[in-house]
Amino acid sequence: MERKYYNPQIELLPRKELKKLQLQKLQRVVRKVYQKVPHYKEKFKNAGVKPKDLKSLEDFKNFPFTTKEDLFVDYPFGLLAEPLEKAVRLHTSSGTTGKPKAIFFSEKDIWSQAKLIARSLFMSGARSQDILQNSMTYGLFTGALVMHYGAELLGMLVIPAGPGNTERQIELMRTFGTTCIHMTPSYALYVATVIQEKRLEPGKDIKLKRVYLGAEPYSEETRKKIEKMLKVDVFNCYGLSEMGGPGVGFECPAKKGLHIWEDAFYVEIINPETGEPVKEGEIGELVLTTLDRTAMPIIRYRTRDLTRFISEPCPCGRTHIRIDRPLGRADDMFIVRGVNIFPQQIENVIMGIKGVAQNYQIILEGYDEMIVKVEIDRDFFDGRIERLLKLKEEITEKLRQAIQVRPKVELVEPGELPVSEGKAKRVIDKRTL
């Protein structure tokens, strides 16, 4: 039964045919939003395009982008392309400021996204005998519910644990023999540390095999660290509420970038300043169009997420394009002494250093001062000061080499920094510039 979530006719579809399929779907979606959503009709008019102008995929770049701000025009129902009664679920995504973005799903939308999740989980090796502990937040956030439906569709036993209460998380894992877990990377680092501190043995006390991490950027070093601590395979899962939540992009066992499901999304990467496509392999802003969504299709959505295409064929044989692990949103970037820095760059350096525990925080204060607080293994606080100073110097120097700015590094004991169960807040900007 579960074999139906591996569909070689779609997943291995030659790119030429995949593009043909995309064009057909794009023409349909463009027609639909033009006819049903006055806001899109207006935008098309301003851009001087009509649905009939979409004759090839090339033509699509003449169509207008949808931005976060567009979601607030005629809020909250303005972008619905079907009567509200057709919608069966609401999810929201709260940005850093203002009102949340409201995303509506029809019944069909719920199951299309669930199928993408089932396909993604199957691709990672999960099967119906697996037990998924879903430790993302249930509620308005898409993270838990969307994954939940997809995992059930695949036939997995789903434990709707939600985040937090780490003792209970571990108890659930031990009692029910959880084999797969879905959570944020920052929380996973914490849970892995607690498992280690309790001296629970991976494979024996804890049966985890696969860990699905998403909802926030994290580095390759963090993946490696969690894989080593728990003896598991970590898979990166990308998505955003506007595109239906998790399952938009997912890693295959090659773990070299995330496949974007191109039968469901049309994907572009643009230069955020000019709006033009970037050159092959260059980093830019990911722009996505829903190809199957019915209640609230969105075209050319500027995600603000920065990534690049990995265009070489994937060893897994799937033809759907891969993107590199998202670096974060353009808004996550901060500038210190004229240098553009992403939290993930810092994370990638520190998580590869022996002695560093699971948590860190970046504080910007005073006149462009950058402090990196790093939790380190408890046994470093055994009174051997030279060892501590050496570690501090190693972290400072490696960060300086990576980001060209010498930060002030503070080493703290595990548990001293706030633990995030959902999305972590890595940067606190208290500058008075």
- Shortest spacing between CB 287 and ligand DLL, in angstroms: 12
The number of angstroms, rounded, from the C-alpha of 65 to the middle of its chain's C-alpha atoms is 21
Mapping DSSP to helix (H, G, I), strand (E, B) and coil, where does residue 354 land? coil
Q: Taking CB under 6 A as the rule, does residue 250 contact ligand DLL?
A: no
Nearer to ligand DLL, 142 or 294 (CB): 142
> Cα–Cα distance between 304 and 324 in angstroms, integer?
15
Q: What are phi and psi of 167, to 5 degrees?
A: -60, -45
Among 25-33, 50-58, 238-246, 287-295, the segment contacting ligand DLL (CB under 6 A): 238-246
The first and second tokens of residue 111, run together, are: 């199951």
Over the range 379-399, which residues count as b (16 or more CB within 10 Å of their CB) and which as e? ebeeeeeeebeebbebbeeeb
Confirm if 327 and 348 have CB atoms less than 8 A apart: no
Neighbours of 17 (CB within 10 A): 12
Binders in 118-147 for ligand DLL, by CB under 6 A: 136, 141-143
Mapping DSSP to helix (H, G, I), strand (E, B) and coil, where does residue 213 land? strand
Q: Taking CB under 6 A as the rule, does residue 246 contact ligand DLL?
A: yes
- Interface with ligand DLL: number of residues (CB under 6 A): 22
Helical segments of 139-181, H only: 142-154, 166-176
The first and second tokens of residue 2, run together, are: 């579960």
- Shortest spacing between CB 241 and ligand DLL, in angstroms: 3
Beta-strand relationship, 157-159 and 131-134: parallel
Nearer to ligand DLL, 44 or 235 (CB): 235
Per-position x/- string for 216-235, each x denoting binding to ligand DLL as judged by CB under 6 A, each - no binding: xx------------------
Task: Give strand pairing partners of 202.
Answer: 206
Q: Taking CB under 6 A as the rule, does residue 329 contact ligand DLL?
A: yes
Which residue of 215, 269, 323, 350 would you call a contact of ligand DLL, by CB under 6 A? Answer: 215
Q: Taking CB under 6 A as the rule, does residue 214 contact ligand DLL?
A: yes
Q: Taking CB under 6 A as the rule, does residue 392 contact ligand DLL?
A: no
- Shortest spacing between CB 332 and ligand DLL, in angstroms: 7
- Shortest spacing between CB 158 and ligand DLL, in angstroms: 14
Nearer to ligand DLL, 32 or 426 (CB): 426
Helix (H) or strand (E) holding 390: helix 385-403
Q: Taking CB under 6 A as the rule, does residue 292 contact ligand DLL?
A: no
Over the range 237-249, which residues count as b (16 or more CB within 10 Å of their CB) and which as e? bbbbbbbbbbbbb
Per-position x/- string for 92-111, each x denoting binding to ligand DLL as judged by CB under 6 A, each - no binding: -x------------------
Binders in 296-315 for ligand DLL, by CB under 6 A: 303, 305
Mapping DSSP to helix (H, G, I), strand (E, B) and coil, where does residue 196 land? helix
Nearer to ligand DLL, 59 or 227 (CB): 227
Q: Which residue is nearest to ligand DLL (CB)?
A: 214
> What are the residues binding ligand DLL (CB under 6 A)?
93, 136, 141-143, 214-217, 236-241, 245-246, 303, 305, 325-326, 329
